[in-house]
Structure 1
Amino acid sequence: MATFTLKDFNGFKMPPEFNEYIERIENLEVRNDDVWVTSFPKCGTTWTQEMVWLIGNDLNYEGAKTELDFRFPFLECNSFYEEWNNFRNKFNINFKEAEDEVDFFEMVEKNENVRYIKSHVPWDFLPKQIKDGTKNPKIIHVIRNPKQVVSSYYNHAANVHIQFVGTLEEYIEFFMQGRQLYGDYFRTVLSYWNQRHLPNLLILTYEEMHADLISVIKKVSDFLGKSYSEDEIKKLAHHLSFDQMKKNVAVNGQLYIKDESRQFIRTGTVDSYKEEFTPEMISKLDEWISKNVIGTGLPYEKQ
C-alpha cells in the first residue's frame, strides 16, 4: 500500500507544501460578492460548481463551455502538485501535465470580476475575513453519505487522479483513519455543519440534489438572489443531468486523463457502494459513521 506523503495540520492532512498556503489563504482579501463552493472531496463538488456558476451567471451556457477549473478556480490545488508529480513518477502514472503550470491561487487574487472559488479546506482554514464575519461571501457547502464518498474517493485515488496504490479493503481502513489527502471526512464536514446558522452559508446534500434537482436549483437561486422561469430551471436541470455532465468536456475531467477507461464522473448514484462493498465492509463503515455523527444532527446519523 502506498499514498502521498502527508503532514498533519491540526487534524487536516495535506502534503508538506500546504504549509506555504496556510498564511496565503488566511490573509486572502475576501469580497462580499465572492461565491464559494466547499466540500470534502468526492461529495458532488463538480456538480455543485456547475450549477452554482450557471445560476450566478444568468444561465450563460456559452460561457460554461470554458473549462470549469478556469471559471471556478480550485484555491489550494497547487499545494499538492509537487507531491502528485513525485507519486506519478514513482509509479509511472500516465497523466497530462497541462494544469501544472496554472497558479489557481493567483488566478483568484487577480480576478477583478465576481469570483467563484472552490476549496476542500475545513472551515477553520478559510480566510480570516470569512471566519470573523468581516466579509460575508456566499458559501455553498455540499455533503454526501460517507459510504458513497469512500466508494467515489477510492475510484478517484486509485484509478483517476492516482494518489493511492492498494486494495479497496485497505482503502476503507485508510479512509476511516483519516490518512488520505484532506484527512478525516468528519473533521471537514462538521466544521461547516457547526456554522450552519450563518445566513451566508448554505449546506446541500448530494442526496437531495439526486432526488429533486429542480428544488435544489430553486433553493440555490434564492440564496444567490436569482430568479428563473420554470422552463429555464428545467433546461438547467437537463444540463446538470448525469448523462450530460459525463459527456461535457468542460466539467468531466477527461482533458487531464489520457486513459479513457478512467472516469472522473463515474456513476452519479447515491448507493453504488452496496454493490461494491462486502457486508463486512459496510458494517465497519456503519459503526465508524455512528460513532462520529451521534448527537451532531447530520442527516447520515440514522443511515
Structure 2
Amino acid sequence: MADITYTDVDSEVSDILNKCFLTSFRNGYLKANDVVLPVYFKKFGQRIQDMDIRDDDVWVCSYPKTGTTWTQEMVWCIANDLDFEGAKQFLPERFPFLDHTPLFDYEKVLPEKPDLKLPLYVSDSIEYIDKLESPRFIKTHLPYKLLPKKLKDRSTKAKILYVARNAKDTCLSYFHHCCLLEGYTGNFDDFCKLFVSDSLCFSPFFDHIFGYWDRRDDPHVLFLKYEDMKKDLRSVIRQTARFLNKEIDDDQLLVLEDHLSFESMKNNRAVNYEPVVEINKTHNLIKAEGTFMRSGTVGGGKQKMSPEFVKIFDEWEEKCLVTSTLKF
C-alpha cells in the first residue's frame, strides 16, 4: 500500500495558482495526503518516505517563512560549538532543504538554460542528504504526516525542532518570498485569499502546526515560536542548547546572540539567500525585486492587511485554535 495518497487540487484553486504563479518551475499542483504541493513532488514522495534516518540527525521543520533560516543558523551554531568559520559555508550546503528539488522542477528549466549549472543540493536534494556525513542537519517544510517513516515512528533518536509563527505575519512574509523566489505575480489580497483558504504549498497552515504541537512532549521534539525568539532570544538559545545536549556559557551566548541578530543575518551571504536570488535574476527565472530577509518584525502582517482581511484572519485563527492551548 502506498504511503502517500495523491488527489487533485480543487479546479478553481488550481486555476488561480496556475494563473498567479509563473510556470517556470511548476507543472501544476496536487494534494499529497491532503497537503498542497507541486505535481513534481510525486516523483520524490516515496523516496522521502523511505529515507534512512540516523540517530544523530537534527531536523528543523516549519511551515514556510516562520523563522526557519534563523532557527537553522541557531541550531547549527549551537550543535557545532559556535564554529563561526564553518558557518561561512552556504547554509543550504551544510543544512540542506529536503524539499528543494520536489518544490522546483528544474528539469523543466534546464533545456532552455544550458548554462545553468545546478549543485546536487538543488538538482537532487534527497540524494545530497543521503550522502552527507554525520551528523546531518536537515530542513523541511513538510508537515509531520509527510516526514520519512523512520522519523515518524521514532525508531531512531533523531531530533526535531519545529518553529511556528502567527498566521498574519507568516502570510505577509510568504507573499514576499513567493514574489521573489517562486514567481508569484498576483497582489497581496489575492495571496491572503489563497493563504486563508489553505491553498498554498505546504498548507493547511494550522494542521501543519498541530502536527508538531501535538508531539511537543516527545523528548526528541522541541516546539519553538518565532515570537518567543524575537522577545527573548537568549532564553530560546539556552532552551535549544539543552535540547541538543550542549553547554553554552554567558560569553558564548552574547557572541551567538549578536551573530543571530537580524542585521547580522541580513548581511550574511551564507544565510541571506542572495546568491539564489542573483542566480534566478541572471537566468530570468524570476522578475520580482526585493531581498530574502526584509524586516523580521512581529505584527507587520496586521499592518499591511486591509481591515477586512484582519477580521477574516482573526476569525479563522480563533476557529482553528478554539480547542487548543496553543496561542500566539
TM-score, normalised by the number of residues in structure 2: 0.84
Gaps (5+ residues) in structure 1? Answer: 90-95
Structure 1 stretch displaced more, 249-258 or 101-110: 101-110
Contact 1:15–1:83 (CA under 8 A) maintained in structure 2: no
- Identity across aligned pairs (percent)? 36
Q: Whole-Å Cα distance in 2 between the matches of residues 53 and 294 of structure 1?
A: 35
The alpha carbon displacement at 1:129 in A equals 1.4
2:188 aligns to what?
Answer: 168
Matches of residues 170-249 of structure 1 in structure 2 within 5 Å? 170-249=190-269
Deviations 1:183-224 (A, max 9, x none): 221121111111112110000000000001011000000000
For residue 275 of structure 1, the aligned residue among 303, 317, 324 is 303
The alpha carbon displacement at 1:164 in A equals 1.9
Contact 1:12–1:187 (CA under 8 A) maintained in structure 2: no
Q: Secondary structure at the match of 2:222?
A: strand
Q: Secondary structure at the match of 2:238?
A: helix
For residue 25 of structure 1, the aligned residue among 17, 26, 48 is 48
The alpha carbon displacement at 1:146 in A equals 0.7
The alpha carbon displacement at 1:85 in A equals 5.7
1:92 aligns to what?
Answer: none
Q: Which amino acid aligns with 2:38?
A: P
- Off by >4 Å, runs of 4+ in structure 1: 83-86, 96-101
Q: In the comparison of the two structures, how many residue pairs are matched?
A: 291
1:297 aligns to what?
Answer: 325
1:119 aligns to what?
Answer: 140
Q: Which amino acid aligns with 2:128?
A: M
Q: Secondary structure at the match of 1:41?
A: coil
For residue 250 of structure 1, the aligned residue among 270, 292, 299 is 270
Q: Whole-Å Cα distance in 1 between the matches of residues 52 and 322 of structure 2?
A: 37
2:155 aligns to what?
Answer: 134
For residue 146 of structure 1, the aligned residue among 153, 167, 179 is 167
For residue 83 of structure 2, the aligned residue among 54, 60, 83 is 60
Contact 1:18–1:80 (CA under 8 A) maintained in structure 2: yes
The alpha carbon displacement at 1:280 in A equals 1.5
The higher relative CO (CA closer than 8 Å, separation ≥ 6) is in 1
Structure 1 stretch displaced more, 215-224 or 130-139: 130-139
Deviations 1:30-62 (A, max 9, x none): 111100000000000000000000000010000
The alpha carbon displacement at 1:227 in A equals 0.5
Taking a change above 3 Å as real, the CA distance of residues 299 and 85 of structure 1, as seen in their structure-2 partners, is farther
Q: Which amino acid aligns with 1:241?
A: S
Contact 2:57–2:136 (CA under 8 A) maintained in structure 1: yes
TM-score, normalised by the number of residues in structure 1: 0.91
Q: Which amino acid aligns with 2:56?
A: D
The alpha carbon displacement at 1:10 in A equals 1.9
Gaps (5+ residues) in structure 2? Answer: 1-18, 282-287
The alpha carbon displacement at 1:279 in A equals 1.5
Q: Secondary structure at the match of 2:105?
A: helix
For residue 46 of structure 1, the aligned residue among 42, 48, 69 is 69
Contact 1:97–1:256 (CA under 8 A) maintained in structure 2: no
Structure 1 stretch displaced more, 212-221 or 16-25: 16-25
Taking a change above 3 Å as real, the CA distance of residues 27 and 162 of structure 1, as seen in their structure-2 partners, is closer
Q: Secondary structure at the match of 1:30?
A: coil
Q: Whole-Å Cα distance in 2 between the matches of residues 85 and 185 of structure 1?
A: 28
Q: Whole-Å Cα distance in 2 between the matches of residues 84 and 138 of structure 1?
A: 33
The alpha carbon displacement at 1:98 in A equals 4.6
